[in-house]
Amino acid sequence: MMGMDSPLFSTLRHMMDTPEDVDKSHNAPTQTFVRDAKAMAATPADVKEYPNSYVFVIDMPGLKSGDIKVQVEDNNVLTISGERKRDEEKEGAKYVRMERRVGKFMRKFVLPENANTDSISAVCQDGVLTVTVEKLPPPQPKKPKTIEVKIA
């Protein structure tokens, strides 16, 4: 888990620094921003490019497809999010050690211009989510237009 003293948050605080005469409360990151930054940092992904598609691979152990949301925002941002919930405790049992991550997760990817946002598929198998974004066909080169020359 990332703390507020991590390099990511240190860099964000440095980027947001303002002159001393400005109220510092306006400079602090919002709780939503901090929560989203933690969720994104804790969700590693592999991205592969193939001749006809882009493929995003994210480990999602123990999650059902209903726990995962795949969306396209602003016509070119692929967002993968969801929540891993803690198992219900059975009576008489208590955790001796808890290392598996629970809570919300999220990743956002800006898609290239040639991504076909109308052709996206997502499959979660054996704890691995694979999102495939097809590429648009390359634009056809313009053919020269022939103008008929008339005799005057």
Residue 106 and residue 147 in contact, taking contact as beta carbons nearer than 8 Å: no
pTM of this prediction?
0.64
**C-alpha distances in Å from residue 131, one per residue of 32, 53, 62, 134:** 26, 10, 18, 10
Query: Which pLDDT belongs to residue 134?
Result: 97
Q: pLDDT at position 83, please?
A: 85
Residue 94's alpha-carbon distances to 78, 99, 101, 103, in angstroms, are 39, 14, 17, 19
The parts of the chain modelled with pLDDT lower than 50 are 18-24
Cα–Cα distance, 28 to 16 (Å, whole number):
8
Q: What is the pLDDT of residue 11?
A: 61
Predicted confidence (pLDDT) per residue in 17-57, tens digit = 544 444 445 566 676 655 555 555 567 899 999 999 999 99
Cα 66 to the chain's mean position, in Å? 17
pLDDT of the residue at 19: 47
pLDDT for the residue 92: 79
Q: What is the pLDDT of residue 10?
A: 61
